[in-house]
Structure 1
Amino acid sequence: MSRFVRKGHQAEANAYVPLPVRDGVAPSYLWITESRPGGMLAFLEERFAEVAGPPWHERMARGDVVDAKGERLQPDSHVRQGMRIWYYRELEQETPIPFEEAILFQDEHLLVVDKPHFLPMIPTGRFLRETLLVRLKRKLALPHLTPIHRLDRETAGVVIFSHNIETRGTYQSMFQKRVIRKTYEALAPLLADREFPFTYRSRMVDGEKFFVMKEEAGEPNSETLVELIERRGGLARYRLHPHTGRKHQLRLHMASLDVPILNDAFYPVALPCKGDDFSAPLQLLARSIAFEDPLTGAARRFDSRRTLDWPDPPGA
């Protein structure tokens, strides 16, 4: 089996990309790091044996598989060390996600979007066109659109994209320097016998399952400020301020406090995949993002227009 490095999106912005964005989908590429006999078709069929989609000989016939110079690859093309192959990721079937994003702001640098629950940020796994990035590229014709931070598929709310190559790094650096002020809201059981607000800290590491995190003893590397906004019976609405940006930080922190966010299928216990069941969205919302614009110095704040869904009281 040949070894390779595969990346799912376009290369660096200043690199030549031989295939255009098509219907919102950017081409993917794959580096070949070891030559092998048998021809390109045999290599692709072996490498992507478990991936659904049109047969590779059909893609080649359409000109959708090319080398770094944009030249069409044929079934008998050589597989050589150092080659970069460009192609479009395709899915034969994809379940529509019945929720729409909303544009909150757009200028010559940024696009700010109010993401719905269940919509993935970028193509991955069984999601391609039903992702926020591809939807926006298709609707707005912004081929260089890139998210400069992420939200989980299950989380709704404010997310920022860059569509200007020249200023992208400047805005990305705000997140790296942690000068962005992010506020979330969550519905969860009422946390009794605590004084609000309070700060929760822990050491977060990868869990045994690749898609979850866990806590362990040691120097804390995650921090969340927790505020109580309102309570209804045994439930509460919280305002959460993550001072660090660990994967699933808010979800794990709330579960560790014994008040897991409503409808969380990962914490405290990872439940079986619900597939395309959209009936119980995670009650976590990226409510707002605020920062000083690094180009102009102006204060910026963007707020989600979405709300969380309190469950009906018993007997309602």
Structure 2
Amino acid sequence: MDVFLASRFTYQSRSNWRKILEEGKILVQGKPVKPSYSIKEGDEILYLPGESFEPPIQTDFQILYEDPYYITVEKPGDIPIHSAGRYRKNNLTDLIQEDPRFEKIYTIHRLDRETSGVVIFGKDPESASKLSDLFSKRKIQKTYIAFVWGEFPARLKAKGFLISDPSSLIRKKRKFVHEDSFRKSDVPEEDYETSETIFRKIGEGTFQGIHFSKVYCLPKTGRLHQIRATLYSLGFPLLGDKIYGKDEGTFLEFIEGKDPDLIAKLGMNRQALHSSSLKFIHPFTGIKTKIRSNLPKDFPR
């Protein structure tokens, strides 16, 4: 049971789920079960969480740009954008809405919890809808900066597909397959998405004894984990990435509560990916708009 819960609901580690089971908060067919219980087809599982405490987050976000329609925020590298998993109130959307100046904000796009940088919200449904439409039509130029292990090529175009990674022990992990080697007949239609990203090397150096490359990332599509999964599949994982890093065993240790030395194993405590700019034609004013965010202090220099 504890293995199933940890793999299916990754917001708790296996050791945490084991403790929850031992406290009698997981019921199967209405009765508490032990961590060693073997799940059977037709089992009805009920979780009685009781009072819960959310993990701490970084709350030092900055407002980069604001007008009557939008608010753009510089997101720190340890805060989810919206309520999910263990983060119910500790998320950027709720944090912004605690400010009396903003009655309600509307999510337009998302960044992973550990990705820092530019994120924009609508102040009303119409504003959010118009900019969301620009995102879906690929009329917003997004630029990211990544720090990766190894010697990255001067320029690289990755056009192909993102699919589930069947070789991984991590359920939500994806991998990139180049269009020249992808066969649609090998993958269920619902399990692949087109993906295109242009990468350009802009620097290199050494950090924590690791030789890294600094890379501009220009995604043409907007898929889940697109940049992270693509770089990993190309052989250049992000520094600090627990899921798409050099060793996925680090993530498995992490969710099991073993507290691995992330800096020693991955080079950083979080993934080295930063949303550095958004560029678009403002849907209400028609003005060319570019919003930039400087690299955070915890990144290599």
Give the structure-1-normalised TM-score. Answer: 0.65
Matched residue, 2:200? 227
Alignment deviations for residues 246-268 of structure 1 (CA, whole Å, 9 cap, x no partner): 11111011111211000110115
Matched residue, 1:243? 220
Matched residue, 1:202? 160
Matched residue, 1:146? 106
Matched residue, 1:113? 73
Question: Given the superposition, is the C-alpha separation of residues 211 and 140 from structure 1 closer, same or farther in structure 2, using an over 3 Å criterion?
Answer: farther
User: SS where residue 98 of structure 2 aligns?
Assistant: helix
Contact 2:242 2:270 in 1 (8 A): no
Match of 1:96 among 35, 52, 56: 56
User: SS where residue 130 of structure 1 aligns?
Assistant: coil
Question: Given the superposition, is the C-alpha separation of residues 308 and 98 from structure 1 closer, same or farther in structure 2, using an over 3 Å criterion?
Answer: closer
Deviation at 1:158, TM superposition (A): 0.4
Deviation at 1:133, TM superposition (A): 0.5
1:305, 1:140 → 2: CA distance? 27
Matched residue, 1:286? 275
Match of 1:163 among 115, 120, 123: 123
Match of 2:183 among 218, 234, 239: 218
Deviation at 1:112, TM superposition (A): 0.2
Larger radius of gyration: 1
Percent identity of equivalent pairs? 28
Matched residue, 1:134? 94
Residue 252 (structure 1) aligned with residue 210 (structure 2): no
Structure 1 vs Structure 2 CA RMSD: 2.6
Matched residue, 1:272? 252
Deviation at 1:273, TM superposition (A): 6.1
Matched residue, 2:145? 185
Deviation at 1:125, TM superposition (A): 1.0
2:274, 2:130 → 1: CA distance? 26
Q: Is there any run of 5+ residues in structure 1 with no aligned partner, and where?
A: 1-46, 55-91
Contact 1:186 1:308 in 2 (8 A): no
1:292, 1:182 → 2: CA distance? 13
Alignment deviations for residues 139-198 of structure 1 (CA, whole Å, 9 cap, x no partner): 245343121000001110100101112332111101111100000001112335x3x222
- Comparing 111-120 with 272-281, greater Cα deviation is found at 272-281
Contact 1:285 1:308 in 2 (8 A): no
1:286, 1:175 → 2: CA distance? 15
Contact 2:58 2:78 in 1 (8 A): no
2:64, 2:144 → 1: CA distance? 17
Higher percent of residues as helix: 2
2:292, 2:113 → 1: CA distance? 19
**One-letter code aligned to 1:283:** A
* Equivalenced residues, count: 227
Matched residue, 1:19? none
Contact 2:61 2:76 in 1 (8 A): yes
Q: Where do 1:33-72 residues align within 5 Å?
A: 49-53=46-50
Give the structure-2-normalised TM-score. Answer: 0.68
Deviation at 1:281, TM superposition (A): 1.7
Residue 306 (structure 1) aligned with residue 295 (structure 2): yes
Q: Is there any run of 5+ residues in structure 2 with no aligned partner, and where?
A: 1-43, 185-192, 263-267
Alignment deviations for residues 33-88 of structure 1 (CA, whole Å, 9 cap, x no partner): xxxxxxxxxxxxxx99425345xxxxxxxxxxxxxxxxxxxxxxxxxxxxxxxxxx
Question: Given the superposition, is the C-alpha separation of residues 95 and 293 from structure 1 closer, same or farther in structure 2, using an over 3 Å criterion?
Answer: same
**One-letter code aligned to 1:262:** L
Matched residue, 2:26? none
Deviation at 1:214, TM superposition (A): 2.3
**One-letter code aligned to 1:272:** L
User: SS where residue 305 of structure 1 aligns?
Assistant: coil
Question: Given the superposition, is the C-alpha separation of residues 260 and 137 from structure 1 closer, same or farther in structure 2, using an over 3 Å criterion?
Answer: same
Question: Given the superposition, is the C-alpha separation of residues 311 and 290 from structure 1 closer, same or farther in structure 2, using an over 3 Å criterion?
Answer: closer
Deviation at 1:115, TM superposition (A): 0.5
